[in-house]
Amino acid sequence: MRREQKLLLAFAAIVLIPVSIVWFVAWPLIHAWHLPVVVAGEMTEPGERVLTDSEAKNANLWLQSHTTGWGPVGERPPAMGKPPHKITPNVVLVMKSAEKEPLIVSLWRFDHGSDVMGIQTMVNGPFRMQSYKEADVTDLLPEDVRVR
């Protein structure tokens, strides 16, 4: 192999290896997440009740319009430690698709900062997290839990 060929091969390796690593790490975070279409659900926090059809429809519209920007699978929710440091979600919606696939939406509200939302696609499964301002999640939530 000639010197020019070795230099060209080294240049290609120096450029392509980091680019491919960045691409495969970043791509899952920037592409749209295909969430199942939810048709029914229930609210388990702050109180237990079945969502109305319009509340389930509003939740589905919100979820289908917010499919990007979620963190990687396996993120830890806010302070999921042991008491007294454990913070439980303020709102939990357990949604079901037409195929009975679960979609669990948990919302942690904070007075002096963004609210944190986590989505699980299986019961006790890993979270994907994202932060939102309170006004951004209003359409997702049922009327009775919109105001703190």
- Give residue-wise pLDDT tens across range 67-104: 877 777 777 777 655 565 567 777 888 989 888 889 89
Q: Answer whether residue 14 shows pLDDT above 90.
A: yes
- If asked whether residues 78 and 141 sit together in one domain, one would say yes
Antiparallel, parallel or unpaired: β 38-45 and 91-97? antiparallel
DSSP state of 75: B
Instruction: Look up the domain containing 3 and give its range.
Output: 1-31
Do residues 141 and 73 share a domain? yes
Quick: pLDDT tens for 30-42.
Answer: 667 788 888 888 8
pTM given for the model: 0.71
Alpha carbons 10 and 83: distance in angstroms, whole number: 54
Could you identify the residue written with the tokens 């830890």?
76
Q: What's the structural domain count of the chain?
A: 2
